[in-house]
Structure 1
Amino acid sequence: MAINPTQVTVGDLFGSKKYFVDFYQREYKWNDNIKNQSYKPIKALLDDIFYRFDLNYKPMSDINEQTIARYDWYYLNSFMTNTIGGNTYIVDGQQRLTTLTILTIVLWKIGKRLQVEDGKLRFLEKKICDFDANGEMVFWMGFPDRVNALKAIYNTPPDTRVTVPSSATIAEKNIFEAYQTITDYLQGRLNNKHIFDAFRLYLYQRVYLISIDVDESKDVAMAFEVINDRGI
């Protein structure tokens, strides 16, 4: 078969596989603060996830994996990949996956502010990045045009607005904007350990995507064109 679909959770996406981007991919473009833009992609993504979560969340319930497993699942979207020489390249969906990486960084920061258990913070940190033999950070979604921006927001202390360098590229500026948008959105909602932990488990265990792997490299350009030029 030319394409192979697989059901994955957000938790399955990050933690063991580094994603690469090919030359034809666009820079990170999601930004809710563009003048005269009515559609806000980041807020829409968060609204969709929280709508389903809020239908199930009960403030007085025990929070554990078994409880969250009874929450209604949510289908976020699909993304497309192609594996070459052991490396997984994103054909379509890198905007969404990058946003999920930024979301995880924000969750990690909020967890630190709420002083949640170290094990839960380490769980989140492992969904953001790994470290190589030289001790350098390796982001699972760390494409060259966004590594510096991801490092900057990762290293920004909780409750501190990120400083945008004057030399920042468009992709980097959008990452900084996305970080602040997500931070502002979540801080008012995840304001105690109970709801924080419930949402953390829900996001990584009950939010699903369809991973579509394109077998043949020669078909990648065709798939990318169909998805992006024809709106499919």
Structure 2
Amino acid sequence: MGETDVHALRGVSLTITAGECVAIMGASGSGKSTVMNILGCLDVPTSGTYELDGVDVSTLGANRLADIRNRKIGFVFQNFNLIPRTTARENVQLPLFYRGIPSREQQALALRALERVGLAGRERHHPSQLSGGQQQRVAIARALVTNPILILADEPTGNLDSQASREIMDMLTRLNTQEKMTIVLVTHEPEIAQYAHRVITMKDGIILSDRPVAESQASPVVMEQAGG
């Protein structure tokens, strides 16, 4: 049988400005996960370009992309992706370890990040000793510890109850409004999407709508006619 090319994205053009908070919505297979993977330098488009912080990253090799992920992008996942056998502080230190930062500096930066997310005094707790909301705060601290220019949050409230979801979204909103952190989140929940400045709805690899919810300004992230 012959092979058939399947394009997850079809001619997607998208600009996300610095300091913006953008929500991407869509059913399974809509292309939203592919967009997030390209934005996170986990995948590269088969055509078109992706510019991050003034650099076209779509032509870079694997090692350079890994370095960009470590230095410029923070990831937050639905399942937290914490290492069970390590403490909250050690989980937050992990990106700094891979960067080769001295251990004492790692610890200081991790403690500062945990304080930013309201977990001062919990640094010695293991994930099993923390609630779901607290585990997601650890994950956010890990995303923040490298001082990235972009936070990518994939269903950040998907495993949380309504109260913890509000707390996590309030925290992300504060990071966005007070620290001007650029945030892109994937969600299937309209009420979560309303925390964003813009809601982008995708279907079958195209953008159906790009609806502003609030105003913002500047611009380091550009994806032009991306295909994948």
The TM-score with structure 1 as length reference comes to 0.24
Higher strand share: 2
The TM-score with structure 2 as length reference comes to 0.24
Higher helix share: 1
